[in-house]
Amino acid sequence: MRFILASASASRQRVLTAAGIAFTAVPAAIDEAGLKNALLGAGAAAKDVAAALAEAKALHVSRAQPAALVLGADQTLLLGDELVSKCPDLDAARALLSRLRGRPHQLVGALVLARAGAVVWRHGETSNLMVRDFSNTFLDAYLAAQGEGILEAIGCYKLEGLGAQLFETVEGDYFSILGLPLFALLAELRRQGVVAT
């Protein structure tokens, strides 16, 4: 069975490739920001936004590719009750990282599998991260070293690289923090016959 990742996320693609999963990346052409704003405007809890966005991505691609198993994934960052969006530029990244400094936040991840335009599986995981009270000197060096590549990550960090130095503690699955709760997904892909048992 053909397996499709409904995402352009380089991090999710790296995780699947490293795990030996054959897939095709077909980014879902949906208005994520508009959908997120509509959900929040309708009173959806911030923690439920990731699940709704993952479902929208999976269903959008699944309707166009009904014979394939399609994975939609999304991740949101909660700072207290505030849903934090991706940063558009490095100035915004500096401001966000300064706000995260010395504070805890949550990453809420969601996965949805769809086939023939219908949801066949859902999964969610929450990770708790405590950012250390880093210096402005470290922040300057971090931004200079990482550049605009960090803008693709919701918290402007990549735990698999220099971003690990931003943290005091991390509670949660490593792959979930990268944006793809891998172990739960692998179990379901085995059940679906996509990977060998």
Catalytic residues: 74
Cβ atoms within 10 Å of 16's Cβ, excluding its own: 23
DSSP one-letter string for 27-76: -----HHHHHHHHHHTT--GGGHHHHHHHHHHHHHHHHSTTSEEEEEEEE
DSSP state of 8: -
CA-nearest of 50, 52, 54 to 76 is 50
Q: Are 195 and 189 in contact (CB under 8 A)?
A: yes
Structure-token pair, residue 131: 């950012």
